[in-house]
Amino acid sequence: MTDVLDHSREKPATQRQDDTAAQPRPLPLAGVRVLDVSQVMAGPYSCMLLGDLGADVIKIEPPGTGDQTRGAMGFKMKGPDSMGFLNMNRNKRSVALNLKSEAGRELFYELVKSADILVENYRPGVMKKLKCDYETVRQRNPRLVYASISGFGQSGPWAGRPGFDLMAQAMSGVMSVTGHPGGPPVKAGVPVADIGCGLFATYAVLAAYIGAKATGEGQYIDASLFEAALAFSVWDISEYWGRGTQPIPLGTANRMSAPYQAVKSKDGYFVMGATNQKLWLLLCETLQRPDLVEDPRFKTNPDRLAHREVLIEELEKTFVTRTSDEWVEALLAVGIPAGTMYTYPEAFESEHGRHRQMRIEIDHPNEGKVSNIGFAVKLTGTPQQVRRHPPLLGQHTDEVLKEIGLDSAAIENLTARGAFAS
């Protein structure tokens, strides 16, 4: 089946509303080939970002089942693929390949020869068992940049453990500072370890690719969810290393400034922050609370941090007299940071979310129009494009094989030898 998108006439998402916009320059990763040998989230997300920038991403999937995320999420779409899969696999081609078979590995090696980057996220040791590890494939392509994504890295006492976001959040310390004081453990609402690792892997892959272009030598990248989560812990671990005080959950508050959190209003909650002395004095003036300026408990930021709970109680005595929208408008008008607490639907459908095109739609052969999260950063000279819908399982197998020089007879021979069978 061919893609339903017309690539020759397609405009990037950031320009689709402007028919007079000039055609963009070639995407920065045009001509770069990526083998996506990953499943679920961190690896597929990283490879999708590369695809958005123009890379030719070939997703190598197990025959029959494909990426585990195709059947995940607990609810059915029109076709067999989940909405989660559809939101992490645009701009890719799918090749269904049995890496456990000798024929499948032979074909994999041929694909490696044509690739610039490979991303995999099997448990450490699995790719070596399959004879698809870095030391094996680099013999066929020394310039290959090979990234392994795992839960805890390729070495160390925890290396063999299953790699999931929940475990990484717990074991990195992230969950120790998430939630409210004295409450039960709470994970971050979004998969910060998974997505964070995907982002770190992407920046490492691009840096290594630039190096390989200059030297002709690729390299191996070892990325983990555990280390990605730790890398996000700047404020929290700074408090521990600086003061010797173990960080604790603070709800929506911030351990460096107060007030800086969600506060109660007449009709719910909103967020605000007076993160320096100038803003604090301006806040007291706006609330018409000169008593707070004179209160010795709130004189300086360290004082306010030490008395955070009573500070918020005092502020909420005034905040509960007006609605959240009224306070947000009033605070923003005088230069104090404030914001409404939106649900995801409200955020994506907000005037600003629509302006920034954070919900885009992709034509899909099974689903018709399918929603995708838009591009999180905007490149003005070479804006990202949705060039391909998320692929059907094995949709591009024949197409890719012919590109690397296999004719029909060779494909039939590989088929007979189990290269594409589950």
Handedness of CA 68, 69, 73, 74 (dihedral sign): negative
Residue among 74, 73, 117, 71 nearest 92 (CA): 117
Starting at the earlier edge strand, list the strands of the sheet with 338-340.
Answer: 260-264, 269-273, 338-340
Please state, in angstroms and rounded to a whole number, the distance separating the CA atoms of residues 336 and 321.
Answer: 18
Give 343's contacts (C-beta < 8 A, 6+ positions apart): none
3-state secondary structure of 203: helix
Q: Is residue 56 flagged as an active site residue?
A: no
Give 141's contacts (C-beta < 8 A, 6+ positions apart): 112, 113, 115, 218
Transcribe 102-141 into DSSP letters: HHHHHHHHHHHHT-SEEEE-SPTTHHHHTT-SHHHHTTT-
Question: What is the DSSP secondary structure assignment for residue 390, as one 8-state letter?
Answer: P
- Both tokens assigned to 256: 């460096």
φ/ψ of 165, rounded to 5, equals -55, -45
Give 418's contacts (C-beta < 8 A, 6+ positions apart): 98, 101, 103, 104
The DSSP element (H or E) to which 361 belongs, if any, is strand 359-364
Please state, in angstroms and rounded to a whole number, the distance separating the CA atoms of residues 64 and 84.
Answer: 19
Pick the catalytic residue: 3, 194, 222, 236? 194
Give 413's contacts (C-beta < 8 A, 6+ positions apart): 103
Q: What number of CA atoms fall less than 13 Å from residue 32's CA on the CB side?
A: 28
**Active-site residue list:** 194
